Structures are given as structure tokens and as C-alpha cells.
């Protein structure tokens, strides 16, 4: 009886230890984010104009703060949700206000995958099945707070 129980436990451990995490599972780590932007400073003055954006330190591979054409601000992590731990899995905003997965190298975009995202982080096409990680944006006067 004991040996059949032990064999059952051993079999269960073998089955579950052989399982890999699903590649499609969103594995973007949750990291603390708390950023305050004072748009009265010259460094951030362009953010007053819809369509402009800046890259910020923070998040996993950086954060993009985008001033949408609807007047809203969007803060998205720059880590691509498809194979996020690959060296190249960072998103860049292009001239069409679309995020593409890859890196700029010597002024030339090198894609990592075919994933594309809207300026607000929503997925346009994959292989990713997840949108970009978004952070909360709260605007009071000319102060913008970004947090999770």
C-alpha cells in the first residue's frame, strides 16, 4: 500500500515538474512605480502638446508617457509582453504612434517580433496576445503622477 502511494506521489511530481510555463502567459513582472512629472519644467514642456511623448526611467525596461489626441495621458511599460525576457524585447514608438517590439541600433530599428501596439498599449497584432503593461496616470494642474 505504501509503495503504491509513493509511486503515485512520484508520478505526480514528475508530471508537474516537467511542465513549463505557457509562453503565452503574461510574465511582465510587477515592479513599484511612482514618478512625478512637473510639466512647468522646460524638459517636459513638449508633453503639453497632444501626440508628444517621452521615455522615462522606471518600470521594467522603461516607461513611455504619451499625450493622447483625446487629451488623456498614457503611461506604458516598454517591455514587450511576448518573450519579455529576451534582450531585444523593448518597444519603441514609431512615427505612426504605434509601438513595435525591437530596439534602435545605430539609428535603425531592429525588430524583435511582429507585435504592434497602439499608443495606449492596446494590442494591434501579435505574436503577443497581451497588451502593453499600463500604469495609472493622474494629472493635477501641470503635475503628472504615474504609479501602479
Per-residue pLDDT of 19-47, as tens digits, reads 444 454 568 899 999 999 999 999 999 99
- Residue 52 CA, chain-centre distance (Å), reads 19
Domain residue limits at 134: 32-147
Within-domain flag for 5: no
Quote the number of domains for the chain: 1
Q: What are phi and psi of 30, to 5 degrees?
A: -85, 120
43 belongs to a structural domain: yes
Could you tell me what percentage of the chain is helix, strand and coil, using 3-state DSSP and rounding each to the nearest 5? 15, 40, 45
Output the domain CATH number for residue 36: 2.102.10.10
Q: Are 146 and 37 in contact (CB under 8 A)?
A: yes
22 within a domain of the structure (yes/no): no
In the chain, which stretches have pLDDT less than 70? 1-26
What phi and psi values does residue 42 have, to the nearest 5 degrees? -55, -30
Is 18 within the bounds of a domain?
no
Amino acid at each position: 500500500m505504501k509503495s503504491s502511494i509513493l509511486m503515485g506521489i512520484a508520478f505526480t511530481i514528475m508530471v508537474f515538474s516537467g511542465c513549463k510555463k505557457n509562453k503565452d502567459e503574461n510574465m511582465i513582472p510587477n515592479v513599484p512605480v511612482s514618478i512625478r512629472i512637473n510639466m512647468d519644467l522646460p524638459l517636459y514642456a513638449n508633453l503639453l502638446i497632444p501626440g508628444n511623448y517621452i521615455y522615462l526611467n522606471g518600470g521594467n525596461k522603461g516607461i513611455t508617457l504619451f499625450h493622447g489626441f483625446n487629451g488623456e495621458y498614457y503611461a506604458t511599460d516598454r517591455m514587450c509582453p511576448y518573450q519579455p525576457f529576451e534582450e531585444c524585447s523593448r518597444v519603441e514608438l514609431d512615427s505612426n504612434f504605434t509601438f513595435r517590439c525591437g530596439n534602435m541600433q545605430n539609428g535603425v530599428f531592429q525588430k524583435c517580433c511582429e507585435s504592434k501596439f497602439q499608443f495606449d498599449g492596446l494590442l494591434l497584432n501579435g505574436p503577443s496576445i497581451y497588451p502593453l503593461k499600463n500604469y495609472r496616470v493622474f494629472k493635477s494642474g501641470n503635475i503628472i503622477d504615474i504609479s501602479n
